[in-house]
Amino acid sequence: MSRVGKWSAGLFISCYLSVLTYGIVGHLLKIGLAGNTFSYYVVWDMFCGWQAYDQRTHLIAESDSGEYYELREPWGEFCPFGGLGRLQYDVYNHLVSKQIKHLITHTQHDPIDAVYVVQEVWPKQYNLPERLWQQNFGNERDKISYYHLRAVCNSVGGVVSLYRSWLNQQTLNSVGDNPRLRREVRQAQSSFGTWYTPTFGNGLHQSIGGMPSTN
């Protein structure tokens, strides 16, 4: 290999390792995770951690007269891929405030007091086609959804209250129900940054099963 080739290979390897190191350190310290899409390609857990639950996000608006209704685009939901609207791709609700503001400012309605961001969760096994369902389970499909409050926003999309996701909350609930794990959590000190610090109050946040009432 010529000297130019060696320098080019060394420069490429150096740049690659620098970008990879920057991505790993940023991901470890939780810096700029939602800043841009390119960071997704330089972390080590690109495709791990797929959940066993599917989810949908619902926006429930409350007017000053006490009426509740689902907030959605009257002109039709934009579906970038397949039949899912773009709101469903924002699983961490990074852009839900902008979505609420966009919908409220471009529609006519009663004055809005609050908008509730509700997370619907169900096991992915219920997404199987009927033939595969009968082949694997052989019983009636009795789908149960869990509805969990993720956030409360005002009439311009500003976040008033923010809550953990259903899966994270169930994890904390399971820790809170186990005396041994509670003692270990109080005594342990993490060496890494975390999304939250487990705390245990008088009660546990509860999710509900079934359809929420919007009447």
In a domain, 107, yes or no: yes
Say yes or no: 158 and 103 in one domain.
Answer: yes
Say yes or no: 38 and 125 in one domain.
Answer: no
Residue 189 confidence (pLDDT): 64
Which of the residues in the chain have pLDDT under 70?
32-49, 189-215
Say yes or no: 102 and 155 in one domain.
Answer: yes
SS3 at position 114: strand
Instruction: Give Cα 38 distance to the centre of its chain.
Output: 19
Quote the number of domains for the chain.
2
How confident is the model over 31-90, as pLDDT tens digits?
A: 766 666 666 666 655 555 678 899 999 999 999 888 998 998 888 888 888 888 989 988
- Give the Cα separation of 55 and 147 in Å (integer): 10
Long-range contacts of 86-91 (CB under 8 A, 24+ apart): 87/57, 87/59, 88/56, 88/57, 90/57, 91/55, 91/57
Q: Percent of the chain beyond pLDDT 90?
A: 35
In a domain, 93, yes or no: yes
In a domain, 140, yes or no: yes
Say yes or no: 188 and 118 in one domain.
Answer: yes
Stated pTM of the model? 0.66
The boundaries of the domain holding residue 128 are: 53-209
- Give the Cα separation of 21 and 129 in Å (integer): 43
Q: What are phi and psi of 133, to 5 degrees?
A: -65, -50
Say yes or no: 128 and 171 in one domain.
Answer: yes
Residue 140 confidence (pLDDT): 87
In a domain, 215, yes or no: no
Orientation of helix 166-176 relative to helix 179-187, angle to 10°: 100
